[in-house]
A = this chain, B = another copy of it.
Amino acid sequence: MKYGFALFGAGRIGQIHARNLAAHADAQLLHVVDLSAEAAQRLAGATGAKVSETHVALADPAVHAILIASSTDTHAELIQAGARAGKAIFCEKPLDLDIARAQHSLAVAAQAKVLLALGFNRRHDPAFRRLRREIAAGRVGAVEVVSITSRDPSPPPPTYVARSGGLFRDMMIHDLDMARWLLGEEPTTVYARGSALVDPAIGAAGDIDTAVVVLETASGRLCQITNSRRCAYGYDQRIEVFGSAGLVRADNVPATTVETAGTDGFTRDPALPFFLERYAAAYRHELDEFLQALRGAPAQIATGEDGLRALQLADAAQHSLESRAAVSI
């Protein structure tokens, strides 16, 4: 059976999802909705969907699920409208920048008894999935310390920063989700430090572009996360999980395994440039899992609850940054 989809948002991430839906044997992209008629038309044309308005897409009984990839400030409304229309929902992170609104969205979805999945793409990266399987298989013994390195290749434009909710809610939220997913316990304390070292405009906008965060769980497991909005050698995405019996880690992915050697030494490729390349497989697996969930089969999806927890951690980090104190959850 093919599941019908309506896609909200025809931007960079919307396009990834649209192409993956179009190529998937069990999915059919029916509607594309975007404020920009041109963007919507281009994407609909390329994928065999039609351009629709929100109410039309939500009213279509052939639509089983909506995929929300529009700007963050539209997420809550679309989740709630989708839920009321009885559609399953896949929403890009974050749920919202406001905890209360996010909680309300979850409540509406719960009441409507619809599936609500959150787009934490890294959970579907083949390397990070392997980390989790190795942990589950006992390869590192009891988890003690998780270290996450996450650096974007270059800072977003100031206009984006202004609406982003800040580094913790916009960028580190992915790492905070990874931390929860790999620690095996909920963090109970958050401490964050950050600086605007990359771009003074980011600092002027009241945000940071470089950060270090420490999480602690009830049993004393620890996690350290470092973020930067700039990275000369590509999209730096590494995780190490240290435990009583050893270590498991995922390194960056290079474009090729080519290495040159000369008088200066041995040089290999930088990390893949950014998320479109690094997480191409993750986006496909993410869709597979969501379709599994639609079929009612066991599936590895991040839930709305996961989205809320990560947002709470991001809020706590922001609070810690501002108060210069550790924050309890």
Contact = CB atoms under 8 A, between A and B. Distances in A.
A312 to B, nearest CB: 19
B266 A270 contact: yes
A224 B222 contact: no
A245 B263 CA distance: 8
Interface string A229-264: 010110010000010111111111111111111111
A126 B230 CA distance: 27
Given A193-B216, A246-B233, A326-B325, A265 B267 contact: yes
What copy number does this chain have within its complex? 4
Nearest to A232: B246
Interface in A196-227: 196-198, 210-212, 214, 216, 219-224, 226
Contacts of A292: none
Contacts of A147: 147, 149, 226
Interface stretch (A35-43, A105-113, A127-135): A127-135
A139 interface: yes
Given A212-B222, A326-B191, A263 B233 contact: yes
B220 A211 contact: no
Interface string A289-329: 00000000000000000000000000000000000111000
A126 B255 contact: yes
A326 to B, nearest CB: 6
B259 A249 contact: yes
A66 interface: no
A172 interface: no
A63 B250 CA distance: 47
A189 interface: yes
A186 interface: no
A145 interface: yes
A263 B250 contact: no
Given A144-B210, A226-B222, A262 B233 contact: yes
A221 B212 CA distance: 10
Given A210-B144, A258-B250, A233 B191 contact: no
Nearest to A209: B144
A256 B127 contact: yes
A276 interface: no
Contacts of A226: 145, 147, 222, 224, 242
Contacts of A260: 134, 139-140, 246-248
